[in-house]
């Protein structure tokens, strides 16, 4: 079974490890098959793959292609602040400190809180978006089904009991990037793009670590492999080292 899902279904290492743990729990712990050693022989090591990243021009084109504001605004916020999808859609009106230009991310990965800067233009855009639906708590309430006229749409959003589902933005991004013939990227790729573009602009690696909410700096260091700017800087230095050496 494990060979089938790995070779035919192309499951990722993390999914294989979860399946192995579930199978071991059932057969060894519940059925008392303590003599089964097959689970110890199954290995699923993570691949050393770099995350997909869009250029700044591609991000601009992607956002321009998303015409509905209720989708474009959260996607833009994810890129501008380097948020995870769940962090963005779970935001409330209490998480925005407009005067201080700060955004509070509560209960992120690892149950860690953090604060990220919020650009002035994004503050205005979020304020304008909230003024449309005026939900008493949620920043991105669920739209639900029904009449798409602005008044009916706003009324449903105002009384929504939960945030916009993740699948709404995920499906939209797939459609948009296919229309633009962009690489096979996901919503999370916007977070990777945010970090890479900041690093290319000269931001310190430790600053990016704090903005992304990474516990270990080694997690953030992967973006060093993605920056075109750092490669060009290294190339200029190498050219300088070579200049004047004996031939």
Kindly list the catalytic residues: 84, 109, 188, 191, 214, 223
Round to whole Å and give the CA distance between 92 and 74: 13
Round to whole Å and give the CA distance between 51 and 3: 26
Give whole-number Cα distances, 25 to 12, 19, 37, 45, in Å.
Answer: 20, 10, 13, 20
204-229 core/surface letters (b: 16 or more CB in 10 A; e: else): eeeebbebbbbeeeeebebbeebbee
């Amino acid at each position: 079974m494990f060979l089938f899902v790995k070779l035919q279904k192309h499951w990722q290492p993390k999914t294989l490890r979860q399946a192995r743990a579930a199978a071991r729990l059932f057969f060894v712990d519940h059925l008392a098959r303590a003599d089964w050693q097959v689970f110890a022989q199954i290995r699923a090591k993570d691949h050393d793959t770099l995350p997909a990243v869009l250029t700044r021009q591609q991000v601009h084109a992607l956002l321009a292609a998303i015409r509905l504001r209720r989708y474009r605004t959260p996607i833009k916020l994810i890129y501008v602040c380097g948020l995870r999808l769940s962090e963005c859609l779970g935001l409330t009106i209490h998480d925005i400190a407009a005067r201080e230009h700060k955004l509070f991310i509560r209960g992120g990965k690892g149950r860690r809180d953090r604060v990220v800067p919020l650009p002035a233009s994004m503050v205005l855009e979020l304020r304008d978006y909230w003024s449309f639906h005026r939900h008493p708590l949620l920043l991105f309430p669920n739209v639900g089904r029904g009449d798409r006229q602005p008044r009916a749409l706003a009324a449903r959003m105002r009384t929504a009991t939960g945030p916009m589902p993740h699948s709404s933005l995920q499906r939209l991004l797939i459609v948009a990037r296919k229309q633009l013939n962009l690489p096979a990227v996901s919503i999370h790729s916007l977070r990777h793009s945010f970090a890479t573009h900041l690093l290319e602009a000269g931001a310190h690696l430790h600053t990016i670590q704090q903005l992304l909410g990474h516990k270990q700096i080694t997690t953030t260091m992967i973006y060093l492999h993605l920056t075109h700017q750092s490669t060009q800087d290294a190339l200029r230095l190498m050219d300088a080292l070579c200049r004047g050496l004996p031939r």
